[in-house]
Amino acid sequence: MEKERKKNGNPQSKARGGVRCSFCGKELNGREPAVQGADGAILCRECARLAQRYFAEIEKEYPSKGSSLDPIKLKKPQEIKRFLDQYVIGQDEAKKVLSVAVYNHYKRLNYSAAGHDADQTEIEKSNILMVGPTGTGKTLLVRSIARLLDVPFCIADATVLTEAGYVGEDVDSILSRLLQAADFDVAQAERGIIFIDEIDKIARKSSNPSITRDVSGEGVQQALLKLLEGTDALVPPQGGRKHPNAEMVKINTRHILFIGGGSFDGIERHIASRMNRTAIGFKKDEERRTADEDENVLKYIAPQDLRSYGLIPELVGRFPVLTWLDELDREALRNILTEPKNALVRQYRQLFAIDGVNLEFEPEVYDFVAEKALEFNIGARGLRGIMEAMMNELMYELPSSDVREYRVTLDYVKSHFDKGLSDKLKNSR
C-alpha cells in the first residue's frame, strides 16, 4: 500500500500545485478529496458522483445478465401443500398436482445449475393448466407458491393479448412484466413464474382452423407457442410497443414456468359428450341433475376436451400438466371467511383493533354471508363485497365513538343486507 501511494502520489498534495480534474477541468484545492488513477488522471468528487449516478441508470435500463444465482430453497411436495393449506380452502387435488409439478420444475433447475446434467438425460419443463369456475382460488394458489419459493412472479391477462401489430398488448409484453417483477435482473426473471389468467378467452370461435387472422384468438395461441416451449425473446425492459429505436433485452424462456388458468365456461358439455353422458331416453332433467349434482364433471377433463373448446392442439400439448378445481360449496365459503391466514374476518378484526375496538361475530353471520355468496354465484371474491357492504356503517361510526367492544349479530347483518345490495349482487353475476 505504501509503495502504491508513493507511485501514484497524493492528489491533494498535487492539487496545491494547480492540479485540475481530468474530466471537467475544475481546479482542485488542497482540501478537496479526489480520486487518482494509475496513469495520473484525477477525478473530482462531483464527477465521481455523476459517474455513479450514470452507471446506476445504465444498470436499470440495460440490466446485467451475469448476476450470480443462489439455489432455490425448494420444499418437498407435501411441505408445499401444507403451505397452500394455510391460504386456500379445499382444492386438495389441484394442490397436489401443483405441488408435484412445481417441485419437479425447480428441482430440475437446481440440478442443472449445479452442473450435473452434462451427461444426463435432459428433463423438460412441464407447464400447468388449471380449469375451474371463477372465484375458486386459481390465482391465489399460484401467488402463494411464488411467495413460498421467493421467485419473480407476474400475472398476465390473456384477454388483452393480440397478434403483433394490432391494438392491444403483444405476447412478448408478458416477459416485460416478469422482468419488472425481477427488478430488471434477467437471470432471476429466467427462472420465474408467469400466470396467464383467462386463457380460455383466446380460444378460437370454431373447431375449424382459421383461414384469416384471428387477432384475439388463434393468432395469440400461435404466438404463445414459442414462449411456452422455450425461446430467446427480445423484450423492451420498460414494456410498451416495440419501435426501431427501442433497446431490447434478451430473455430465454426455457426455464420460466408458465401456469394457465381459466373458467372454460361450458366445457362440461364437451366432457359429457365425450363420455356419452348426454340425455338419452325418458329420464327427466330433474332426476338427471340430482344424480350428477354432487359430482364435479371437471375431474374427467382431458386434452381432447380443450381442443373441442377451441385451443389449438399445439398449445394443449405445451401444457402437459392438467388439473381442475371444485366449485365452492356453502361449507367451503364459510371456512374461507375464518380459517386462512388472510381470512376476511381476521382482516376486519385487525382493522378495528388498530382503532382500539375488539370486534366479534356471531357464528350465524358466517352462514348467512356464505349462503348469499352461493345464492348469487359470485365465488370467494364475492365474499369481500358482501362483507364490505355490511360492515361499511360500522367502519364509519365506530372509529369516532367510545365503543371498545362490538359484536356483529345476525339481525344487524340482515338489516343491512337491504334490497339495494341484493340487486347489486344479482347484477354482478
Where does the pLDDT of residue 284 fall: very low under 50, low under 70, confident under 90, or very high at 90 and above? very low
pLDDT at position 429 over 60: no
Note the pLDDT of residue 4: 46
What would the pLDDT profile of 210-219 be if each residue is shown by its tens digit? 555 555 567 7
CA distances in angstroms from 252 to 49, 67, 124, 192, 330, listed in the order given: 35, 15, 14, 11, 44
Delimiting residues of CATH 3.40.50.300 domain(s) in the chain: 77-324
Between the two ends of the chain, the Cα-to-Cα distance in Å is 75
Delimiting residues of CATH 1.10.8.60 domain(s) in the chain: 330-427
Please give the mean pLDDT across all residues of the chain: 79
CB atoms within 10 A of CB 117: 13
DSSP-assigned letter for residue 181: H
Cell numbers 482542485 label which residue? 28
Cell numbers 424462456 label which residue? 253
Question: What is the fold, at CATH topology level, of the domain defined by 330-427?
Answer: Helicase, Ruva Protein; domain 3 (1.10.8)
Angstrom distance (rounded) from CA 90 to CA 136? 9
- Mean pLDDT of all residues in 200-206: 76
What would the pLDDT profile of 16-73 be if each residue is shown by its tens digit? 456 888 888 888 877 778 888 777 788 888 898 888 888 877 766 555 544 446 778 8
What would the pLDDT profile of 300-325 be if each residue is shown by its tens digit? 999 999 998 989 999 999 999 999 99
Angstrom distance (rounded) from CA 248 to CA 239? 10
Residue with more model confidence, 17 or 399: 399
Dihedral pair phi/psi, residue 359, rounded to 5°: -105, 135
Q: Is 65 helix (H, G, I), strand (E, B) or coil?
A: coil
Where does the pLDDT of residue 281 fall: very low under 50, low under 70, confident under 90, or very high at 90 and above? very low
Residue with more model confidence, 295 or 254: 254
What's the gap between Cα 103 and its chain centre? 18
DSSP-assigned letter for residue 406: E
What CATH architecture is 77-324? Answer: 3-Layer(aba) Sandwich (3.40)
Angstrom distance (rounded) from CA 178 to CA 190? 9
| Size of the chain, expressed as the number of residues it contains | 429
Note the pLDDT of residue 320: 93
Where does the pLDDT of residue 10 fall: very low under 50, low under 70, confident under 90, or very high at 90 and above? very low
Q: What percent of the chain has pLDDT over 70?
A: 77
- Mean pLDDT of all residues in 135-163: 87
**Among positive and negative, which fits the CA dihedral 107, 113, 118, 122?**
positive
CA neighbor of 251 nearest in space, from 152, 137, 132: 152
Note the pLDDT of residue 244: 54
In the structure grid, which three cell numbers stand for residue 105, read together? 420444475
In the structure grid, which three cell numbers stand for residue 290, read together? 340430482
Beta strand ranges found along 293-352 (DSSP E): 321-324
CA neighbor of 131 nearest in space, from 10, 272, 261: 261
